[in-house]
Every structure is written in structure tokens, then in C-alpha cells.
Chain A
Amino acid sequence: MNIESLAAAVLDACEAASVTHMLTGAFATSVYGIPRSTKDVDVVLGVTGGDAFEKVTAKLDLIVQFDPQIQFDTLTWGRRLVGTARTPPPFKVELFELFDDPFVQQQFQRRRKLYSAQIQRETWLPTPEDVVVQKLRWGRSKDLDDARDVIAVQTPEALDMTYIEDWCGLHGTKERLLKVLGEIPPL
């Protein structure tokens, strides 16, 4: 199995389970920034509470083995479920549940469609501004590089920097924004 087949299977599972969704992580970053490799397919499920995880994982059971333990991220306390492809390569699948966080809710509402020839379907993605805000919020070195790359490729002139700055103010990440802006060399 290649990574695009796995991504297509995850999106199909969401559709089959009638769970709204949004591709996130490295693939969303690559759409707007500098394409890079990843180890996983990250998808936000547009359902708060309920049995969204169970419905989607049941549809994927033949190709992905999910951990029985749901995890909470220690930044926002959102719920995450991790699985590994049953056949090589051992790609990961990470499912994130939509939860009651103003930014996460708005990010999901603002998602947009993109057609991918590789997975032969439309997929939902966050906006580039929301990718930047999200990455600055997480703040790991790789996240900051991703935020810088999206801004560099899209250009600050084309992005809604006021929207980004407003969320960074609320998240306390304005210093990170200034740092990544300062890392972009003259282009």
C-alpha cells in the first residue's frame, strides 16, 4: 500500500460513516508550503463526542489496527486515536476529534475542498491561515518550520495576516509568528 491509497481509504471510511472530516498535518502543510514527507495520515473528524471514532475505525479495520487507548493532547485536551497500517509500509493514521475550542471549531468551519488526482477524490483541507495558526500554536520545531514555509510560499501579502495575528494574540503565540517571519530570507 502506498500513502495515497491509505489516505483515500481513510477519507472513504469517513464518508461511509457519514462523518465530516478534514485532512490536516503534513499533507495540509504541503498543499500550501514546501512538500515534505510524513509518517502518517492525519484527519480531523467533524463530530464532538458520540461514536465517531468507533464508526470510522470500524470501516478501516481490515487495513488499519488502532490502539485501544484514546489519547488526549496536553495542549488543548483534544482526543486522538492512533492506528498503524496492517500491511507494510507501517504508515500511521491519526484521527482527531473536533472539540469545543473556538479556534478548532472555526478552522473546521472554514475548511475548503481540493481535488487530488492521486487519491481520485476531493478532500477537505484547512485554509492556509488556519494551518499557520495551528502550527504556531503547537510550537514544536517542525511545526514552526511548517508555519514559516506556508507563509514563505503563500506570501504575507496574499495571506490574511490580520486573521493570523488575531488568533496568535489569543493563543499567546505572537512571538513565534515574529520569529518565523524573521527567518524568511528575502525572496
Chain B
Amino acid sequence: MNYFPTMNIHDDPAALKALQDDIYREKVLRARKQSPAERLADAFEITNFVFGNMLAGAMAQKGITTESEGWEEVRRRLERLCRVHDHGRYAAEKPLAA
């Protein structure tokens, strides 16, 4: 599909959906070419890369100059994220009726 650089694709729901489908299709077809072990290896690599970016982002945003302080900020952010993601999903006690 061709996209014209002057158009704002968000103004055209059909074009936006077509672009989203194109991007998704490319991801799926790439994954299909990989073996299960290769996909697992990619997940490891992406995770390490993302954590590196989280460290760089936290240090830049907070003006932190040492990695240890940067990781502490990342840890705090992850704890907050976990609380949001897990809200209502976990309980400290199992009800008697469950």
C-alpha cells in the first residue's frame, strides 16, 4: 500500500487500519520464518534491550549519574507498574467459599 506523506493517516480510519494490518502482517510473517527456539532467543534479547532502555530513560529523565541509582528508579517504576497490572487480580487470602 502507498501512503502519501502529506496526509494525516489518523484522519482516515480505513487507511489507518490498512497500515496497522500491514505492520501486523509483517510481524506475523517474520515470526513464522523463525523456529520456536529462535523466537525464544528473540524474546530474551528484546527483554534485555528494553531493560537497558528503561535504565537510560530513567537516568536521563531524573538526571541520575550512576547506574545503581538508575536501576533503583527502574525498580520503583516496575513496582508501580506491577501494582497497576495486578490490581484486583491477586489477593493475600483465599476466601473460604473459593
- Where the two chains meet, the residues of A that have a C-beta atom closer than 8 Å to any C-beta of B are 2-4, 7, 26-27, 30-39, 69, 71-75, 77, 80, 84, 88-92, 114-118, 140, 149, 152-153, 185-187
Contacts and interface: CB of A to CB of B under 8 A. Distances in A.
A10 to B, nearest CB: 13
Interface residues of B, number: 42
A101 B21 CA distance: 37
Contact of B49 (A31, A34, A37, A114): A37
Chain B, interface SS category: helix
A2 B41 contact: no
Contacts of B44: 2-4, 7, 27, 118
Contacts, number: 118
Interface in B7-36: 21, 24-25, 27-29, 31-32, 34, 36
B86 to A, nearest CB: 8
Contacts of A73: 89-90
6 contacts: A32-B36, A34-B39, A35-B31, A72-B92, A89-B55, A185-B21
Interface of B: 21, 24-25, 27-29, 31-32, 34, 36-37, 39-44, 46-51, 54-55, 67-68, 71, 74-75, 78, 81-82, 85, 88-94, 98
B89 A74 contact: yes
